Amino acid sequence: MTHLTMEQLVALRDAVSEPGSAESQAHLGVCADCSAEFERLHQRVARLRALPTLRPSRDRFPQVAARVRQDRRQLYVRRAGLGALALAASLLLVVVGRDVVTPPTASASDKLTAVMAESATLEQALRQIRDGGQVTDAYTARVATSLEDRIAELDRELEAAQLDASAGRDAGVLPLWRERVGLMDALVDVHLTRASNVGL
Amino acid sequence: MTKALAVDSYLLGDAESVVARVRVGDPAALEILYRAYEAPVFNLARRICRTVEDAEDVLQETFFEVYRSIGQYRGDGPLWGWVRRVASSKALMRLRRNKYRETDELFDEVHAERREDTPLRMDLEAALERLPATSRAVVWLHDVEGYTHEEIAGMMDRTPSFSKSQLSRAHAKLRTWLGEEARA
């Protein structure tokens, strides 16, 4: 009589029926040796499961916590980098982009009207962001405050310019309005970048 | 109740709330999770890895991965089952990284004759420790943790047949080393 191999005995333990398992099962019923071997296999597995739980000799949580803190710092730096990048990109657009997209033939008055309309659109976008009442982290708050301070300063300059009734007034205030639009654009970007980083 | 569910409720009373706190980055919640699963994770890692140091590294890597990937845990199965899967992957990754397999094969070749001709009697702990790392990992994952050959094959990037073959070879060796009677 051919005895069952260890592979066949091990396969019999699995719930999944495999080819030949019926024959193996039938053999177990008539072969005392294989039946005893199968029982020993069961006992061995039971003893494996009953082995004591091994425990670490030292506490590794401080290392886990330190790595988590390091990961968070790196994430913070990446976020700050993205925010700064967004700000730089927006300011670059202010400096380089405006004259490129504005038709060179437009008058100073037309240009001023276009820039003021853009400023109004950005005001609207900022109002919506603020109305959302989302929590702002320290970095975003710092950047946003410095941008808002500069916008307020520009507003004072623009107010003073309104009092000027000279013929070249539009051409004079145009750079101020452009800078205002650029800063507001940057402010919107800072808020949106922060929102996308925290998954809002 | 499954073994994994039992472990969850026994080790971590309020798994759902702890997971929610880990998700928002609460370090105290991560520590609760660590304290609850530290022993079973280390035990699994130690049974698979060659050294205590490797097992401790796997323990650390497992909980860092848990912190980073907790968003992927959807709560549709026991938390312990998910943590255990992370730990198993990390332990197997450590085996691959240390190239234990090559060492095992060499070890097997050198000692094959002595093993066959000189049956040793040793306790189960020592016999398990003596198994080649890959076989030991398969024995532990299949017989103790309850993974199927298909699941083990997936984690090891091998075939189910490889897993089955490793398991039967390991049991043949254990039987000899434990001094259990061989058939006539």
Distance CA A7, CA B167 (A): 8
- Reported ipTM exceeds the 0.95 cut: no
| pLDDT for position A105 | 54
Distance CA B125, CA B142 (A): 17
The minimum CA-CA distance between A87 and chain B, rounded to whole Å, is 27
The minimum CA-CA distance between A196 and chain B, rounded to whole Å, is 16
Encoded amino acid at A183, one letter: L
Say whether A44 and B165 touch across the interface (CB within 8 A). no
Size of interface A-B (CB pairs under 8 A): 99
Distance CA A86, CA A78 (A): 12
What's the pTM? 0.63
Instruction: Note the pLDDT tens digit of each residue in B44-83.
Output: 999 999 899 999 999 999 999 999 999 999 888 899 999 9
Q: Which residues of chain A are modeled with pLDDT < 70?
A: 1, 15-19, 76-106, 132-137, 139, 164-168, 192-200
**Chain B contact present for A71, CB below 8 A:** yes
Distance CA B80, CA B62 (A): 12
Query: E strands within chain A?
Result: none
Instruction: Note the pLDDT tens digit of each residue in B119-176.
Output: 455 799 999 999 999 999 999 999 999 999 999 999 999 999 999 999 999 999 999 9
